[in-house]
Amino acid sequence: MAGQKILIVDDDLDFCEATKLILESKAYKVNLAHDGKEGLEKIRSEEPDLVILDVMMPEMNGYDVCVIMKADPGLSSIPVILLTAVNQEMFKTSFTKEMGLMTEADDYIAKPVEPEDLVEAIEALLKGEE
């Protein structure tokens, strides 16, 4: 469904800017936050339909943001995609098991990510919402 709100929380401004443009071209409304704390505030105030969370960030890291969200009944239904620069392979095994299960993120994607793959992951989660 077009017009859905996505919040990107990532401290890399260049990455945010480019990703925003790509998602906007797919008719999403995109907001940005650049650290974990700001991210959590905006998740509360803007009630996005989906959150893209970078793992390594100042102030509060992505895992923590995710854990807090999922523990909050008001926010726990918002799908979260965790993004990390940790090696794809490591990410898929040890991470999925330990951090992924703990944080209850809905998907996790290794950086660098192909724009198409990111869009595909978003679409899959938002479709599941309806």
Partner 1 sequence: MLTKPNMLVVDNDVAILNKCNSLLLSRGFQVSTAESSKEALQILEKYHRDVDIMLLSLELPGLGAMSVIEVLKKTKSKILVMAISTDCGEEAIAAIHAGAYDCIRKTFTTERFWTKIDRAVERFTLARQLEILKKQRLSILKKDSYDEDTMRTIMNTIPEGLIVTDHHERIVFYNSKVADLFGLQGDAALGLPIEKTLKNADLVSFITESMNLSRSGHSSVHQKVGSIEIEGLTMRVLINSIESDDGKTIGSVSMLQDVSQKKTMDQLKGDLVSMVSHELKAPLSALLMQLSVVLDGLAGDITTKQKDLLGKAKQRTKRMIALVNDLLDLRRIEEGKAVVEIEPLDLGEILHRSIDIMTLSSKDKNINFDVKIVENLPLFSGDRTGMEAVFVNLISNAIKYTSTGGRVQVELKKSGKDIRIKVVDNGIGIEKEDLDHVFDRFYRIKTEQTKSIGGSGLGLYIVKRIVDAHRGTIYVESKAGKGTMFIVSLPLEK
Distance of CA 55 to the CA centre of its chain: 9
* DSSP, residue by residue, 13-41: HHHHHHHHHHHHHTT-EEEEESSHHHHHH
Least Å from the CB of residue 75 to partner 1: 26
Least Å from the CB of residue 93 to partner 1: 5
Least Å from the CB of residue 18 to partner 1: 3
Among 44, 87, 101, 102, binds partner 1 (CB under 8 A): 87
- Please report whether residue 22 would count as binding partner 1 according to CB under 8 A: yes
Site for partner 1 in 47-76 (CB under 8 A): none
Q: In whole angstroms, what is the distance from residue 57 CA to residue 63 CA?
A: 10
